[in-house]
Structure 1
């Protein structure tokens, strides 16, 4: 099984439980939407790249009610959940939608690294916590740049290298295998955006801490959102009782005020297609912002 197939299978299996367990994803979607406050644009067509069960639809609908939405995901089961999320449940809501002529959401099962969309076909791309699962992120950025119209906006969130640092430390030295995914630094992501042709990338980072009563709670939620896939160096078999006991003991070192923390380094980025903001020697300007604010979610 390839890495891509393993990722697809993980999210196919997580589709029934994803939205109920996705409190972090919902909060980051809200914060991602806040980044649009100062951006003056009225996109006619928006791509939600890696839409999952449609968590971003409500934000995009509220901000751009007349825009056509395209929900794209690698996992077909996620798209089925997204379709249910987008349906207006009440008769009044359906009549209001008809009266306002709000476009329906279009659903595409596809890979961001090989987008099944035409060149210059969307005005804006929104991607909330999907790009960290790419096996070839530079290729994904090239594809996103290809489908964006000139001066179109890419807005995304992803995970950085300090994500789940407590769990990684608890696994360290346990069996010599990787059990926690490793994610790219925002500076590397910014460079990739530039090489893909995007203009004036802006990157920000913040740390969000989610707390749990025990180790099982951490692992259960990661599995429920499909975030337990290890891309390289993962162990093929299951751990034994002794190793699970040692892992739990290792994680206990991080307990504070009766709760176990799980840190997520969240990267926010936006860039424009078709803009060439370069210095006289040809180098391109990338703006970085680091926010060390810690926010707790329970």
Structure 2
């Protein structure tokens, strides 16, 4: 199966998220809500050891520790991992890539990865690695963005300069296909956030490091004219500017 983004520049992704480390938690409203929902799908599992794969600032590493779990925090971005360590978010810290996890096979009870695997080159490869490091009887919990996420922003940019400036996320069918080899449960939901203006909306994306594009450059520096053009092209409802996320939540049972 080919991914929608086979040539992900991992170094650029790591740099974008490292730069966002200090602003991330303040901007990450959606990440918080999605992570809490995902955590709720697995927190009653009796297993003790958790891998927070793509831990970011360590917010959910801390949440798992509050549930009495032993947590290893893994991230590709050195800046994020350093921030998580400063917060004493986990017992162990690993600099590494979800597609090549530096852990032995069957070494943790629960793998938790919230809104991270969309940055991987291959979703099947990422899920295979998460499955590999999970012990039999354990769980892999993941959430990701699906096709048409951020469509309002993509459509508005298209009107401004003919380019979408938004990442292409996998269609739900491909996400389901990646889960097919395993016993699993998958659900998809839409969630829309609203902002008072387009600059606040763009700041929220920049604050979570999500302005990095898989292919080539982003929208570039936003001049006042470009921002005004984007705002004029953007759909506005009752004075609010909506941004929609198509979310997929997966639970994979390690047999």
TM-score by length of 1: 0.77
Q: Is the 8 A contact 2:159 2:233 kept in 1?
A: no
> Who is 1:62 aligned against?
66
Q: Does 1:181 align with 2:183?
A: no
Is 1:259–2:245 an aligned residue pair?
no
Q: Using a 3 Å threshold, how does the CA distance of structure 1 residues 51 and 211 change in structure 2: closer, same or farther? A: same
Tell me how far apart the structure 1 counterparts of residues 174 and 61 of structure 2 sit (CA, whole Å): 29
1:176 Cα deviation from its structure 2 partner: 3.7
Q: 1:240 to 1:61 in 2, by over 3 A?
A: closer
Distance 1:9 1:178 in 2: 22
Per-residue deviation at 1:177? 3.2
Question: Is the partner of 1:183 in helix, strand or coil?
Answer: coil
TM-aligned CA distance change 1:257 to 1:173, over 3 Å? closer
Within 5 Å, give how 1:50-129 maps onto structure 2: 50-63=54-67, 65=68, 67-86=69-88, 105-129=91-115
Distance of aligned partners of 1:202 and 1:218 in 2 relative to their CA distance in 1, 3 Å threshold:
same
Q: What is the deviation of 1:61?
A: 2.1
Alignment of 1:275-294 (within 5 A): none
Looking at structure 1, the residues matched to 84 and 92 of structure 2 have their Cα atoms a distance apart, in angstroms, of 10
Contact (CA 8 Å) 2:8, 2:121: kept in 1 or not?
A: no
Q: How many angstroms apart in 2 are the aligned matches of 1:214 and 1:118?
A: 47
CA contact 1:178–1:234 (8 Å) conserved in 2: no
* Counterpart Cα distance in 1 of 2:52 and 2:139: 12
User: Matches of 2:198 and 2:114 in 1, distance apart?
Assistant: 26
Structure number, greater radius of gyration: 1
Q: Is contact 1:178-1:230 (8 Å) kept?
A: no
Q: Does structure 2 retain, via aligned residues, the 8 Å contact 1:57–1:86?
A: no
| 1:273 equivalenced with 2:250 (yes/no) | no
The alpha carbon displacement at 1:235 in A equals 5.1
Task: Measure, in 1, the Cα distance between the counterparts of 2:155 and 2:144.
Answer: 21
- TM-score between the two structures when normalised by the length of structure 2: 0.90
What SS does the corresponding residue of 1:119 show, helix, strand or coil?
A: coil
Q: Give me the CA root mean square deviation.
A: 2.1
Match of 1:133? Answer: 119
Contact 1:48 1:71 in 2 (8 A): yes
